[in-house]
């Protein structure tokens, strides 16, 4: 079985087939996600919170992501492998971003994710014209928690909505192959999904996005702390982790997740 690529995701998007994505940090869960039909696995810097126990994603290093990419690649065969560029590994310059993205690609990633819109368009162009597919992450970008003054929904007022749409279009224009939309009003996420030609992946976005992503530990109901509005506990009513992940894939594919209660 060959691994999916961003070209396969674009084809799914064109065909109207929903893309099911989850975060994953180790080989055991990677195997379960693969068997359940998850299309893309994100080695997210959320590992700083759910694996390392930090209270933000800021302390995560490139070496941490490299370590977990290796585990997820070894544990799976089919899903597209996307790796986060963590805080302070790409913001300085396109050159810094390339150097660190290259380390993730060498570890087995097929695409890197960067938080940013208009401000990171030059970086996306630099990477994507040098052999590194880019997933942009816009809306509530957790690495900017201190700038935001907390984990706050973005794009709520007219100015914020305009900035969000500009971010989406700038990243597409710069060559992003995929775009994650986090925690914005559903109507705004739907509008972005409609206006973009590249696939969009929602988390607190909209059911109109081309696909969905959740943090694995969140959708299994084993994360500490208060659960975000966009999280659904897929373990509820299931008797195994494999069944819960399969239920997630089915709910994304048939459009029953996210329901309005998971959106803003």
By the rule CB under 6 A, 45 interacts with ligand KIV: yes
Q: By three-state DSSP, how is residue 42 classified?
A: strand
Distance CA 122, CA 199 (A): 20
Which of 34, 39, 64, 84 forms a contact with ligand KIV (CB under 6 A)?
A: 84
Angle formed at CA 187 by CA 261 and CA 87, multiple of 5 degrees: 85
Query: Which part of the chain contacts ligand KIV (CB under 6 A), choosing from 37-45, 117-125, 188-196, 253-261?
Result: 37-45
Residue 159 marked as a ligand binder: no
Residue 157: partners with Cβ closer than 8 Å, 6 or more residues away = none
By the rule CB under 5 A, 182 interacts with Na ion: no
Q: Is the peptide bond before 168 cis (omega within 30 degrees of 0)?
A: no
Nearer to ligand KIV, 46 or 154 (CB): 46
Q: How far is the CB of 170 from ligand KIV (least distance, A)?
A: 19
Other CB atoms within a 10 A radius of the CB of residue 1 amount to 7
CA 123 vs CA 90, 95, 134, 139, 239: distances in Å? 8, 8, 9, 18, 44
Binding residues among 6-25 for ligand KIV as defined by CB under 6 A: 23
Site string for Na ion, 17-56 (x = CB under 5 A): ---------------------------xx-----------
User: Looking at 122, 173, 182, 191, which residue is catalytic?
Assistant: 182
Chain residues in the site for ligand KIV (CB under 6 A): 23, 42, 44-46, 84, 137, 180, 203, 213, 215
């Amino acid at each position: 079985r060959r691994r999916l690529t961003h070209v396969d995701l674009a084809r799914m998007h064109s065909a109207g087939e929903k893309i099911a994505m989850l975060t994953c940090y180790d080989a055991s869960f990677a195997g379960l996600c693969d068997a359940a039909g998850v299309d893309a696995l994100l080695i997210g810097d959320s590992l700083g919170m759910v694996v390392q126990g930090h209270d933000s994603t800021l302390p995560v290093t490139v070496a941490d992501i490299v370590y977990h990419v290796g585990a997820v690649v070894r544990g799976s065969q089919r899903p597209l492998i996307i790796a986060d560029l963590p805080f302070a590994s790409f913001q300085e310059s396109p050159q810094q971003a390339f150097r660190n993205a290259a380390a993730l690609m060498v570890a087995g990633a097929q695409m890197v994710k960067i938080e940013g819109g208009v401000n990171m368009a030059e970086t996306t162009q630099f990477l994507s014209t040098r052999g590194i597919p880019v997933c942009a992450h816009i809306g509530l970008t957790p690495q900017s928690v201190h700038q935001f003054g907390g984990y706050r929904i973005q794009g709520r007022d007219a100015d914020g909505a305009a900035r969000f749409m500009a971010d989406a279009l700038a990243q597409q224009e710069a060559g992003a192959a995929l775009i994650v939309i986090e925690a914005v009003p559903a109507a705004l996420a739907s509008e972005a999904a409609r206006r973009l030609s590249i696939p969009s992946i929602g988390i607190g976005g909209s059911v109109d996005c081309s696909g969905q992503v959740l943090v694995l530990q969140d959708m299994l109901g084993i994360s500490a702390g208060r659960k975000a509005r966009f999280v659904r506990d897929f373990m509820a009513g299931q008797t195994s982790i494999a069944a819960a992940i399969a239920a997630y894939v089915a709910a994304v594919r048939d459009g029953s997740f996210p329901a309005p209660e998971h959106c803003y």
